[in-house]
């Protein structure tokens, strides 16, 4: 697969780079960013933390705003941040131009409904295609962790819960924890997957965590700000807590006083998340 390098910046002794490539899963062009720590060489490949961003974001938001590179360079963790959806003139978008569906809002699912199913297969892209590409072209190992914010927190949790053998740990900031029971999720899942709510459960963190068995458990850390404007209506962390209590899932969910939904919140606690993942990536 051909990678087109579209940007490069030296950072904390390592390199932040952006690439564009043809995605088979998404049937079109896709962009991602990667930070390679200075330790990452052919003789000493680095484990990877995949970061999934939220609604309206691209591959750039996390890399520019979270301040993760300093500690990632110290710990020797590579960071990979894909875009949040396929894009382009041939990729259908929300017919009303809304921000919470279509471009920038792939929700990390495999769409089954036309016309979305031709391009919106972000689940396959994140789980299969992107890691295969990263591991084939960069000095990284197959040791992976996954994290994300808001819609991306939903994506990170559901992907890890459905594929525990592929990841060492999972974390999230302000995840959409129970999308089958909130406006953002109901809109996206009904359009991408159809009206059968049973199909939605496959992409609902609370439902998946409630049904998880001990052999599938992964270390999980979630941070949520108590001043988040979306807390009560969209995010519903209490559903995740209840699900973990039911199944015994090893979830640490921290309510952070005074914090909102922004990258100021993420930047305040990203070091905690990087150190959490480092504990489980054999570093």
Active-site positions?
Answer: 150, 228, 261
- Per the CB < 8 A criterion, the answer to whether 56 and 104 are in contact is yes
Q: Which residues contact 229 (CB under 8 A, 6 or more apart)?
A: 260, 261
d(CA 279, CA 275): 6
H or E segment at 7?
A: strand 3-11
Residue 227 in tokens: 């001043």
Helices (H) and strands (E) in the chain, counts: 10, 9
Q: Which residues contact 102 (CB under 8 A, 6 or more apart)?
A: 85, 92, 93, 94
- Per the CB < 8 A criterion, the answer to whether 12 and 4 are in contact is no
Residue 158 in tokens: 């559901």
Q: What is the DSSP letter of 196?
A: -
């Amino acid at each position: 697969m051909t990678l087109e390098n579209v940007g490069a910046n030296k950072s904390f002794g390592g390199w932040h780079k952006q690439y564009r490539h043809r995605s088979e899963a998404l049937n079109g062009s896709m962009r991602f960013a990667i930070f390679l720590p200075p330790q990452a060489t052919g003789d000493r490949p680095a484990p990877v933390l995949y970061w999934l961003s939220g609604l309206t974001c691209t591959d750039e938001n996390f890399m520019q705003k979270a301040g993760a590179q300093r500690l990632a360079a110290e710990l020797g963790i590579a960071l990979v941040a894909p875009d949040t959806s396929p894009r382009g003139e041939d990729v259908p978008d929300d017919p009303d131009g809304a921000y919470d569906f279509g471009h920038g809002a792939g929700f990390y699912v495999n769409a089954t409904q036309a016309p979305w199913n031709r391009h919106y297969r972000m689940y396959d892209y994140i789980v299969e295609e992107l890691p295969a590409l990263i591991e084939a072209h960069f000095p990284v190992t197959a040791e992976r962790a996954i994290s994300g914010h808001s819609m991306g927190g939903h994506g990170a949790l559901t992907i890890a819960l459905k594929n525990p053998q592929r990841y060492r740990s999972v974390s999230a900031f302000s995840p959409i924890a129970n999308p089958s029971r909130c406006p953002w999720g109901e809109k996206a899942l009904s359009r991408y997957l159809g009206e059968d709510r049973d199909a939605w459960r496959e992409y609902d963190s609370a439902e998946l965590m409630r049904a998880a068995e001990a052999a599938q458990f992964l270390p999980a850390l979630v941070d949520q700000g108590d001043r988040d404007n979306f807390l009560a209506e969209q995010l519903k962390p209490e559903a995740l807590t209840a699900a973990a209590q039911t199944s015994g899932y090893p979830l640490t969910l921290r309510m952070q006083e005074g914090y909102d939904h922004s990258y100021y919140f993420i930047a305040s606690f990203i070091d905690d998340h990087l150190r959490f993942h480092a504990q489980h990536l054999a570093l």
